[in-house]
Amino acid sequence: MLIDVGTYLQDIPDEGVSHAVLKRAAEYKIGKILCSGFSPEDWSLVHSLAREAEMIVPFFGIHPWYVDQVSTKWYKQLLHIASMNMGAGIGTIGLDCSKNGGDYEKQKEIFLSQIQIAQQLSRPIAIHCAEAWEDLVVILRDGKAARIRFMIHAYQGSSETLEELLELGAYISFSRKNLLRADPLTLRLVQQIPKDKLLLETGFPYMDSGKVDRGVSFERYFKCLQETYALAAQTTGTEEGDLAKSLWDNSNIYLLGAIPGKSDRC
């Protein structure tokens, strides 16, 4: 079975497309799709998608781009909706020192508070980081995220930072956009990751830019996921079938803390 650990299906303009993805995923041997919210504004949409299809694993969080837009009620709102969804994760959360990020001190405050919620509920977290790797490693190394399973999504840090994160137990995800670049650094980073720590994501419907791509369709989604797996298999020198099995097991350990029984595996 295939798994996509990074989508934002709630942002697809045409609901018919998202419904088609959910309805036809089994035909393409897709077992799980992680769908992440950005802020309280879209959490209800993510929640609705998860109720529509068991394969959707909802993640609820405040992305560092949106910290300046949330009300003081966000903590209670996040705790409530995460508690309602027993299999949900907390994300996408993190730190961003680029021009896209909100007030940086507020980012750190909200990031730490969301980690506390994940600890309280024993949920995995999905982390976004841009130009703030040193602070992120310090937070994780200081034990503020102790006993939390965490993934760095669409990794774009250095080889040295990658080693530090792996030592702390991180799962590392690469996006289709990362892999399509095929630059020497990205290829080395993918090859540097132990096979039991690698994850993959499409970023759908943001496959090629920061905007929802034109021509979004369910056929486009499935093609993007297949391309992502093919690129990763080529980069790691792994057969696609073997890669799919590893990623399925990795995702279950990341999400659940263990691999399900044999009858539940691909």
Q: What is the rounded distance in angstroms from the CA atom of residue 198 to the CA atom of residue 246?
A: 8
Query: Distance of alpha carbon 196 from its chain centroid, rounded?
Result: 16
pLDDT grade for 262, boundaries at 50, 70 and 90: very low
Structural element, H or E, at residue 153? none
pLDDT grade for 147, boundaries at 50, 70 and 90: confident
Mean pLDDT of 20-30: 94
**Token couple for 129:** 């980081």
Which regions of the chain does DSSP assign to beta strands (E)? 2-7, 30-36, 56-60, 89-96, 125-130, 150-152, 171-175, 198-201
**For the chain, how long is the longest CA-to-CA vector?**
49
In this predicted structure, the answer to whether residue 18 has a pLDDT above a threshold of 80 is: yes
pLDDT recorded at residue 143: 80
Q: Do strands 198-201 and 171-175 pair parallel, antiparallel, or not at all (unpaired)?
A: parallel
Least confident among 139-148, 163-172, 204-213 = 204-213
Residue with tokens 């109720």: 51
Residue 68 backbone dihedrals phi, psi, to 5 degrees: -80, -5
Q: Is 97 left (phi over 0), alpha (psi -120 to 50) or beta?
A: alpha
Mean pLDDT of 54-82: 97
pLDDT recorded at residue 261: 66
Structural element, H or E, at residue 118? helix 104-121
Mean pLDDT of 203-223: 86
Q: What is the rounded distance in angstroms from the CA atom of residue 1 to the CA atom of residue 46?
A: 22
**Short-list 143, 137, 183, 126, CA closest to 160:** 137
In this predicted structure, the answer to whether residue 263 has a pLDDT above a threshold of 70 is: no
Mean pLDDT of 23-38: 95
